[in-house]
Structure 1
Amino acid sequence: MENIALTRPAWQRHPYHGTQWAATLAVDGRRSDLSPAGGQCAISANSRSIAEWRVDLGEVRNLHHVFIQYRTNNVAWDENNANTYRFLGFSIYVSNTTYSKDWKLCFKDNNYTRATIPNPFNVMCLIHGRFVIYYNNRTHRPFPAGYSNYAFNDLCEVEVYGCLKLGYYGENCSTPCPENCENGDCDIVDGTCISCVPGYIGSMCNKACEGKYGMNCSKVCGACYEKEQCDYNNGTCLGGCEDGYKGRQCKTVCNNNTYGPNCSMTCGHCLYLYGEKCNHVTGQCPRGCASGFQGDLCVESSDEFKNRTTVTWPSYNGCLKLGYYGENCSTPCPENCENGDCDIVDWTCIRCVPGYRGFMCNKVCNNNIYGPNCSMTCGHCLYLYGEKCNHVTGQCPRGCASGFQGDLCVESRDELKNKTTVAWPTYNAHVPSVSQTTVQVPVYSIITVVVLFSGSAILNLIFISRKALLRCRNREEKVDESVEKSYTYVDSINVLENGCAAHQELEHFDKKENDDIYNYVE
């Protein structure tokens, strides 16, 4: 390795103006005279709380170690040397910029004393960077024992060893770094990669990502076709997507009522109870078909399904017996086909028995549904261990949840208590509830009552009248016919006297004297 700081541009914060002790003297390659008078050292101004010096390597380099020769005044370096207390507490940083926020620490002295601090000083610095910075400060009192009151540079030589060209490592910087090291950069000693290009991991970046991509294989590939490895950099599925997915990275699930390859197929007539769509991969309807449609994909109307008949094979015209299919009608239909009936060609079931679904009726109803075509939703069952209602009958195996009852646990207890109307299968009569007080009486019943009452009253009236007339007749027969009956006429008002007709007036008069008198003729 070579000194890659030799004669490179250098800078210090507080130069000693008017003297020859410039910052570049620390990288001129000379260190035979370590006194100020020798003109080989960079020395900063007096009475400063911060001392800072840096060298610019021109571009980012692969560093190995840094060598520092401090000022000695050409006398023995020990605790009695007047410069040791200035050197204590220094730091070495490396950075790609001149901003202190970007500095990376290589070394910081926290332990040396005037008796133990070495000079010259070597520090391992396996790092990459463009600027190497020497820094010391006396800003926070009290200072540790033996420290000077001010900070100084006093650097007679700074040498930086590493490789001039990135992408190589080893003692002579002649061995290429592994090919998948990011920017071709690796450790200058053992060749391990500082970081890997996207799609690779490992100390030598020789392990390709599997099902992942990006820096350090930190991102997961989408649903690439046949689980093909996606692009290591951007995750693109070069061979397309699996059914049910779309997009360059195949991470977008089919939506807008589509499914299948590249989401190019439209869902059938599904029953959307809770807004769910058909399966984005297969197109199957999770809760069965809407009214009037059936089949796994709900694309055939019920009428078409009912009218499906056997398909004519080239060698015969159909099977004589239901429940079989195939060219020789020798293969039994799937066991869960309703009535044992299936398609004669592809042996798909025409319909499934309750509790099953699928082309072959080999899928048990799930997702809390049951019954014909898995079209009915389970009631409010008591789910102690996660079991659902019976996939055929809908009955709850452990009874109902609190507040519900009945075989299917769909009726609340309050509804069942107030339930008084019974619906018979043969008519639609309505029986009012107990709480109702209004009684509806047919019109013909009212008419009948009125007629009967009126007839009875008339008969009673006729009977009473006849009885009164007979009583009057008997009385008159006992009176001498010669005796004239006297009448009174009172203001034209007829009064029934002793039960017989009479006319009264204000005065009495003889019947013979007034022709206007009404005679009573029996």
Structure 2
Amino acid sequence: MSAFAELFQQLREISKTSQTGLFSNNPDYGSSKAIDGLNNYNIDACKCCSVTADANPPISWWHIDLKRKYIAYGLEIFGREKINEGNNNQIQNAKIYASNSSMEDSIDTGYLLFDVPTIDVTTHFIKHLQRPVIGQYFIVRINNTLLALCEIIVYGKGNCNVGSFGLSCTSKCHCEDKMSCHPWTGYCQTPGCMPGWKVPSCDKECTAGKFGRDCSRTCSNNCLHGVDQCSKISGKCQSGCVAGFKGHNCSTPCETGRFGVNCTSYCSIHCFKGIEQCNKSSGICKAGCEAGYMGNNCSTVCPDGQYGRDCTGNCSESKNGKAACNKATGYCMDGCNPGFTGPKCSRVSC
């Protein structure tokens, strides 16, 4: 199914066509042949082309009145097959106009839609209009020769399902409001692209590191495995957060007392000066450990015979061995061996 209504072909029963004369007065070349739906280049074989009078008037033209205004988005034109160089002149340099004036006035006051270029290989042309044109009357005119027009198609309002566009409805729109998708180009009018797609045509995804409507927002650098894991629609870090961050888009630092990937680990309560000293990425206690504990995250109790901050003190002559040494203070809890005194049994007695 075409993406657009073929206006002339669908409206041929109610529209009115005309042209300057009739080639050889042969009804096989009448003006209605240009909208009969037969896209054939061979005039003699198909009897499906409009051909104007065989004289050489200053102007030859073909005209159609659609009886009311329609929006045109593009057009397609078929000239006769290229049999010899002389036939080129029967479509080459013709001009196609749209107008809302009367049939007579539109010949001179219409809006130029397309200027047929110099013929090289083909006499088949497709023109995508840069902006839609509203018209009731359409005319093809050429100077100093007859006009041979095998088919002219003007594409009107699209027949594609909402969310698609293009000649065969195979291209997908990504407009925030899909109803605003231009049926020919797919360009999105107000309010713009769906989140995750780039303006103006909304046919390309946001580049890595960008997301949201019109790709106007920047992804967090805290996505686990990089910005490639950032959703181009929502900015969500799909593989989670690097250590030290949490949240939908990993922009929120871990709260006090938590650390690690997605803030799922708990800080040690034995950080010197409190859990505020816990690194939110690694869990390391930045100021070291409180007395009685050691290790990066201060979760390891001092071994027997050691005490103090980060277990840097060595127990002295405790009565019942080094295991009886308080690992926080170094005090000998069961007294001292003979000959030693003091809380830590570190002084020689008299």
- TM-score, normalised relative to structure 2: 0.40
- Which has the higher relative contact order, 1 or 2, with Cα contacts under 8 A spaced 6 or more apart? 2
- TM-score, normalised relative to structure 1: 0.29
Which structure: larger Rg? 1
Identify, as 1 or 2, the structure richer in strand: 2
